[in-house]
Every structure is written in C-alpha cells, then in structure tokens.
C-alpha cells in the first residue's frame, strides 16, 4: 500500500470542517497515557503533568467542560517503590502498585490544578460500570453534577479490582466509551507520538503523519494491525477508540502531549496530530 493511500485521501474542506467542529466543542474528554506523564524511570514527571494541566486549563478558560482520563497509576507506583527491592511482575503486584500510584497521581493533579484554583475529582471505573446501565447512569449523573459545579473529573480504571472479566483493558477504550456515553463533543487522545504515522516516527525517518482519517480508515486499520504494539507504541487501541468516537458523530484527535499548546491549537481550529472526521449518520457499507 502506498503512503499516499493513507495520507492524501481526505479532502481539505472535510478536514477543515472537522477541525472547526473540534474547536467549537463545549464538552471535551482528554486522555493522557502513562508515557505522557512519567519519565524513563517510570517516575511521575511533574513538568509533563504541569504542562497537561495548563493545556487543560486553556480549555477551561474558554468555558469548556473537560473530563480527564489519566493513566499513570501503575507507573507512578513503580516510581515510588524501590523496584529493586520489591517484586512487580505479577497481576496482583501491578494492582497493588496502582493503589500506591493512584493517590500519588491525584496528589500531583490536585497541587497542579490548585495553581489555577481549579477543583478536581477522582472517579475509578471497571467494565461493569460501563456496561451495566444502572451503574453507568450513576456515573453519568455524578459527572453531570461535577460539570455543573465547574469541577474537572479525573477518571482511571479501578486497577485494584479489575481482573480479566471486569477489566476495560486500557484507557483508550475507557475514554471512548465515556465519550460516547456522556455525549461529549470531542475526544482528544494525547500520546508521546504526535499522531498516527505511516510508520514509527521514532525509528523510521520516512514515516509520514496521517493528518486525517475518514474513508482511508480501513487502510489505516490494516497498517496498525500489521504493526506490533511495541513498534507502534500502542497506537492500535488509540485508533480504535478514536474511530468508535467518530462513528458517534464527534471528532476525535490523536495528538502529541508534548506539542506546545496542543489543546489551544485544537480549540482554535489549527492542525494538531491526526483528526478522525466525525461520521454524521452516514454508514460505511
Ligand atoms: N490504568 C492503568 C494505570 O493507571 C493504565 C492503563 C492504560 O494505560 O491504558 O497505570
């Protein structure tokens, strides 16, 4: 498959319109992965976290409601405990690490948002909470109330109790499910790669950014399916989550967490990462 099949198939008007729709969003979910929050030793990186918080506050200052889906609990837990002295390989050990890291993560978020007098709230979810309608209604009502109060909810999976049968799996799917269930207007997935590329930009200098995904979705899907997770830094679930959201009529953007003013760029209709064009009632078949 030639790279142009992937990179040049979405018309510029369509891309422009999707960016305008993203900029106009009143309710936004921002998802940040572990790599966007921790350093090479898995320690929480306060500079990265503060940048994310100031990017989110840019959206808040524009009057938008923002919900943050944040990973980093297991990573922060690893960073806090001396992993030379403690075993961290089993599922139970990862779950225990998440409980150490989650409160540490929230402490940093609370301090960082305090710089702007912005109150935050923590919500930990499992698969049951997304699939059981009564439980999801409760989640939804809580989030609506927090939005009414001007609070930024911060969601993570409840790793301590999420074993296989009740595990969401990853926060890419969690953020897409919450975006769809909460009728948000925009899903932004922030990652250490600046969007979806035709190869891994960390290793392949010829890798090109795919600016927009619409009719080229199948080509993009096969590209990421063919690539191993390690090679693409977990991009597959991000692509699937963004696609799910765009199929529910909202634009979804995968962009670099380290890109300067990344959320402001999105809020002002500028290019950032890869945009998944919303599919408004149209079917693919
Ligand atoms: N819930 C996990 C954590 O906080 C992360 C899962 C994910 O990155 O998708 O460490």
For a substitution probing ligand 1, which of 106, 159, 174 has the most ligand atoms within 8 Å of its CB?
159
Q: How many angstroms separate the alpha carbon of residue 33 from the centre of ligand 1?
A: 7
**Alpha carbon of 158 to ligand 1 centroid (Å):** 9
Q: Measure the CA dihedral 74/79/84/88, to 10°.
A: 0
192 marked as part of a ligand binding site: yes
DSSP run (H or E) holding 120: strand 120-125
Q: Name the pTM for this structure.
A: 0.92
- Which tokens hold the place of 247? 């199929």
The number of beta carbons lying within 10 Å of the beta carbon of residue 174 is: 24
How far apart CA 82 and CA 4 sit, in angstroms, is: 48
Residue 68 near residue 152, CB atoms below 8 Å: yes
pLDDT in tens, the chain (285 residues): 556 667 667 888 999 999 999 999 999 999 999 999 999 888 899 999 999 999 999 999 999 999 999 999 998 998 888 666 677 678 888 899 999 999 999 999 999 999 999 999 999 999 999 999 999 999 999 999 999 999 999 999 999 987 766 677 789 999 999 999 998 999 999 999 889 998 877 778 888 999 999 988 888 888 887 765 555 557 889 999 999 999 999 999 999 999 999 999 999 999 999 999 999 754 443
3-state helix, strand, coil in the chain (%, to 5): 50, 15, 35
Sketch out the chain's domains with CATH numbers. Answer: 1-25+185-285 (3.40.1160.10)
């Amino acid at each position: 498959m030639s790279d142009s099949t992937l990179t040049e198939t979405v018309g510029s008007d369509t891309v422009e319109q999707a960016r305008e729709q993203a900029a106009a969003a009143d309710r936004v979910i921002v998802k940040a992965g572990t790599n966007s929050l921790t350093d090479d030793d898995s320690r929480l990186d306060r500079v990265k976290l503060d940048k994310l918080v100031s990017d989110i506050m840019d959206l808040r200052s524009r009057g938008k409601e923002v919900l943050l889906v944040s990973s980093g609990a297991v990573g922060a837990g690893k960073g806090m405990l001396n992993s030379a002295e403690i075993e961290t390989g089993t599922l139970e050990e990862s779950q225990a690490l998440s409980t150490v890291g989650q409160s540490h993560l929230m402490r940093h978020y609370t301090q960082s948002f305090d710089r702007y007098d912005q109150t935050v709230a923590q919500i930990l979810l499992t698969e049951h909470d997304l699939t059981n309608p009564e439980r999801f209604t409760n989640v939804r009502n809580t989030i609506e109330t927090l939005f009414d109060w001007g609070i930024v909810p911060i969601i993570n999976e409840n790793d301590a109790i999420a074993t296989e049968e009740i595990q969401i799996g990853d926060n890419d799917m969690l953020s897409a499910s919450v975006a769809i269930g909460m009728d948000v207007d925009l899903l932004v997935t922030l990652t250490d790669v600046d969007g979806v590329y035709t190869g891994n930009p960390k290793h392949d200098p010829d890798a090109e950014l795919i600016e927009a995904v619409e009719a080229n979705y199948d080509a993009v899907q096969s590209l990421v399916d063919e690539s191993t997770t390690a090679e693409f830094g977990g991009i597959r679930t991000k692509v699937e989550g963004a696609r799910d959201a765009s199929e529910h009529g909202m634009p979804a953007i995968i962009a670099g967490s380290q890109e300067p003013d990344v959320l402001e760029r999105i809020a002002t209709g500028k290019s950032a990462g890869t945009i998944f064009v919303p599919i408004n009632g149209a079917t693919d078949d």
